Amino acid sequence: MHPIIDSLLSGFCKQFEITRLPEDERFEHFVTYSILTPRQIRQGTYTDALTGKGEEGIDAIAIILNGILITEPEQIEDIANRENELRAEYVFIQAKRAEKFDGGDTLKFTRAVREFFSEGTDIGTCERVATCRDIHSKLLSYAANFAENPSISAYFVTTGRNDPQEMKDHNSTKYMKELKRDLSRLQLFSSIKPRLYGTNELAESYRSATTAVEVTIDFSERVTLPSIDGIQQAYLGLLPLSQLLKLIIDENQGSLRSYIFDDNVRDYQGDDTVANSGMKETLTSKHRKQFTVMNNGITIVARDLTVIGNQLTLRDFQIVNGAQTSNVIFNNRASLSGEDILIPTKLIQSNDEELITRVVLATNSQTEVTTTQLNARAKAERNIEKFFAAKNPPRNLLYERRKGQYDRDTSIVKARVIDRTALVRATASTFGNEAHTATGYQQQLLKRLRETKDSEKRRYLGDDDEPILYYAAASAYYKLDLLLKTSKLEAYLKPARWHLLNIARKIAVAGEFDDPTDRKIRKRLSPFLDTIWDDHKCEALFKEAIEVLESTNLQLEREVLRSTASANLIEQAIQSHLEQREKEK
C-alpha cells in the first residue's frame, strides 16, 4: 500500500476505533468515509452505506435524498411530505487495496452496478443491497417530485497510480466508459460520473472530509454593528448574489450545502408556495433588481470569521434564516448568471450557544409556527451536550448537536461522537420499548421530537428530561457497536442491535422508564452504567441478551425485526428469561 494512504488509513482507524477489523474491511471503511463525508450528509453516517461481507463487486451503496442518506424506504414518503422538491444522488463504491487497477475487478464492479438497476437479477445476498433496491423502487414512485432526475457516481478505488496517459487504454477505463453508456440508456439520471480513484484522488478526498469547510466572500456593501455582548463581530449589508452562491453551493459536488440550513424551523417548501413562487417570479423577470427591496434577506451565524478588507472568510457557519430565499436562488441559478442582484444580509460571529439559539428563535419567529415549536429541542439538546462533555475517560462520549460539529477536530475519537438520529433510536430502544420502530421506522421517532407531554406516543428530547437517560442509552449503543466492530460479537447480529439494547437493559435494570423527567432515574441507572463501562461485564451482558434473542428463533432481518409481532415475541422471551433466572437464585 502507498505510504501516504497507509498513514492516513492508520490515523482514520484509530479515530473510529476499528483497528481490529481485517485490513480489507478497514480500507472499505476508509474509502467510504472519504467519498461520502465531503457531501455533508444531514442524517445518516457512512457506515449505513456499507454492504458488508457476502456482497460481490460493491462495497458501499448510498442513496442520498435531500441531504439524507436513506436507510429505509419509508423515509422517502416522509421527506416527500415535508419537502415539495426532491433531489437524489446514487453513490456506488468498490475499494481495493491493490497498488494497481485490475480490469477484472473493475468489470465485476461495473457489472454489479448495472445489474442493480435490472429487475430480477441476483447480485448477492447482502441486506443493504436488497434494501437499496427497495429504496430505488420507492424513489421512482415519486418521480413527479424530482427537481431533476437523480445523479449517479460510481467509484472504483485502489491505492495505485491513476495517470491519464497510462490509464487511457486500460481495461478499467474501458469498462467504466461502458458503464456510463449503459446507464445513459436507462434514461434515469441527469448526471452520470464513473470514476477511477488512485492514491492522489483518495488522499485528496480524505483531506476534504477532514478539513474544515471555509468560504471566502466579497462583502463590500456592509456596515459594522456596534459592540454587542456575546458577539465577536456583526455586519449588516447587501451581499451580491454571486457571493451567496459561494456560501450555499459545494464547489466540488455542485450541490446545495443543505446542512447549513439545519437551524431553520422549516425545510424548503418548494417553488409552488405563494412566497417562493413570488420570489422566483421576481428573480426571473426584468424587474429582478427589485428583489433587494422585496426580500426579507438572510441571517448567517459563523463561529469563526476572519476579515481582511472586504474579504470575509467564514468557517462553521449556518444560514439560520433564509432557507426559502437560498433554495429559490439555487434552483434558478442558471438564469441568474452574471446578475448583480443584492441580498439583504446579516452576518454574525458568535460562539455563545445561548445567544445563537435566541438569534435562531428571533429570526424564525415570523414564520407560521408556534413558540413551542421554535424552542423545540433547544434546551434539551444543550443539556445533553453539556452532560456528555462533562464525562471523563474512559466514559467520555460527545453528543453532536450540530451536524458535523466535531468532524474537523482531529483530537476527538469520532467513534465516541453520537449524533441525534443514533441517540433517539438508542433511547427509544433501550428505554422506550420501541426497538422495532428504531429498526424499521426511525422517521416516526424523529417526528416526535417536537411533540409535547400530551402526545399519545412517547416523545424524546423533552426540555425537562434527565440527560443521564440519553447518556446511558448512548453508552450502551457505543459499547455494543464496539463489540460488533471488534468482532467480539458476530456481524450477523447487527440488524438486531436495537433489540439487543432493549433486552440487555431489561436484564440489567428491572422496571420501566415511563417518565424521563423523574430524578430517581439517576440512581436507578448508576449500576447499569457501571456494567456497561466494565468491558467484561458489558460483553457478558450482551451475550446473555443474544441468548434471549436467539431463543425466539426469529430471522435476524430488518423486515422481521421491525414488526410489532416480533417485538411482542422478544418481550415474552425476556420475561421468560427473567423468571427462570429468578427461580435459579
Are residues 367 and 382 located together in one domain of the fold?
A: no
Average pLDDT over residues 33-62: 86
Query: Lowest-confidence range among 220-224, 276-280, 369-373?
Result: 369-373
Percent of the chain with pLDDT over 70: 94
Chain centre distance of CA 377: 18
Q: What is the dihedral of CA 28, 34, 36, 41, to 10 degrees?
A: 130
Show the domain range for 547.
378-583
- In order, the DSSP letters of 357-395 are HHHHHHHHTTSS--HHHHTTTHHHHHHHHHHHHTPPTTS
Output the pLDDT for position 54: 56
User: pLDDT band at 337, cuts 50/70/90?
Assistant: confident
Residues 374/361, Cβ–Cβ less than 8 Å: yes
* Residue 554 CB partners (closer than 8 Å, separation 6+): 560, 561, 566, 569, 570
Q: In 198-309, which ranges are E strands? A: 214-218, 222-224, 233-240, 249-250, 255-256, 298-308
Are residues 389 and 312 located together in one domain of the fold?
A: no
User: pLDDT band at 41, cuts 50/70/90?
Assistant: confident
Are residues 8 and 119 located together in one domain of the fold?
A: yes
Are residues 182 and 233 located together in one domain of the fold?
A: no
Total domains in the chain come to 3
pLDDT one-digit tens code per residue, 436-482 = 999 988 888 887 775 544 457 788 988 889 999 999 999 999 999 99
Establish how many alpha carbons lie within 13 A of residue 80's alpha carbon, considering only the half-sphere containing its beta carbon. Answer: 17
* Residue 101 CB partners (closer than 8 Å, separation 6+): 156, 158, 160, 162, 167, 170, 172, 196, 198
Are residues 482 and 526 located together in one domain of the fold?
A: yes
Output the pLDDT for position 159: 93
Strands of the 191-197 sheet, one edge to the other = 68-69, 60-65, 88-95, 151-157, 191-197
Are residues 460 and 429 located together in one domain of the fold?
A: yes
Residues 398/388, Cβ–Cβ less than 8 Å: yes
Are residues 191 and 264 located together in one domain of the fold?
A: no
Q: How far apart are CA 116 and CA 107, in angstroms?
A: 14
Output the pLDDT for position 346: 95
Are residues 354 and 476 located together in one domain of the fold?
A: no
Output the pLDDT for position 435: 95
Most confident option among 21-25, 75-79, 208-212, 533-537? 533-537
Output the pLDDT for position 219: 95
Is residue 177 predicted with pLDDT exceeding 90? Answer: yes
Q: How far apart are CA 28 and CA 9, in angstroms?
A: 10
Q: Which residue has the cell 434539551?
A: 380
pLDDT one-digit tens code per residue, 75-109 = 998 889 877 789 999 999 999 999 999 999 999 99
Of 348, 374, 400, the last residue of a domain is 374
Instruction: Report the predicted TM-score, pTM, of the whole model to 2 decimal places.
Output: 0.81
SS3 letters for 419-469? EHHHHHHHHHHHCCCCHHHHHHCHHHHHHHHHCCCCCCCCCCCCCCCCHHH
Instruction: Please count the other Cβ atoms lying within 10 Å of the Cβ belonging to residue 230.
Output: 14
Of 342, 374, 406, the last residue of a domain is 374
* Coil/strand/helix, residue 46: helix
Is residue 375 predicted with pLDDT exceeding 50? Answer: no
Is residue 374 predicted with pLDDT exceeding 70? Answer: no
- Bridge partners of 299, per DSSP, are 321, 346
Residues 300/348, Cβ–Cβ less than 8 Å: yes
Output the pLDDT for position 366: 52
Are residues 447 and 497 located together in one domain of the fold?
A: yes
Are residues 445 and 513 located together in one domain of the fold?
A: yes
Q: In terms of pLDDT, which residue wins out, 535 or 362? A: 535
User: pLDDT band at 266, cuts 50/70/90?
Assistant: low
Average pLDDT over residues 475-494: 93
Query: Lowest-confidence range among 71-85, 172-186, 217-231, 266-280?
Result: 266-280
Output the pLDDT for position 367: 52
- Bridge partners of 422, per DSSP, are none
The per-residue pLDDT of the chain, averaged, comes to 88
Residues 445/425, Cβ–Cβ less than 8 Å: yes
Q: Are strands 342-349 and 298-308 parallel, antiparallel or unpaired?
A: parallel
Output the pLDDT for position 53: 67
pLDDT one-digit tens code per residue, 384-413 = 999 999 999 999 999 998 777 787 778 899
Pull the grid cell for residue 44. 445518516
Is residue 380 predicted with pLDDT exceeding 90? Answer: no
Does the N-terminal peptide bond of residue 194 adopt cis geometry, omega within 30 degrees of 0? Answer: no
Of 177, 210, 243, the last residue of a domain is 210
Are residues 84 and 147 located together in one domain of the fold?
A: yes
Output the pLDDT for position 452: 47
Are residues 96 and 43 located together in one domain of the fold?
A: yes
Residue among 17, 130, 97 nearest 480 (CA): 17
Q: How far apart are CA 221 and CA 282, in angstroms?
A: 22
Burial of 568 from C-beta contacts in 10 A (0-12 / 13-18 / 19+): exposed
Q: How far apart are CA 242 and CA 259, in angstroms?
A: 20
Q: Which residue has the cell 426559502?
A: 324
Is residue 282 predicted with pLDDT exceeding 70? Answer: yes
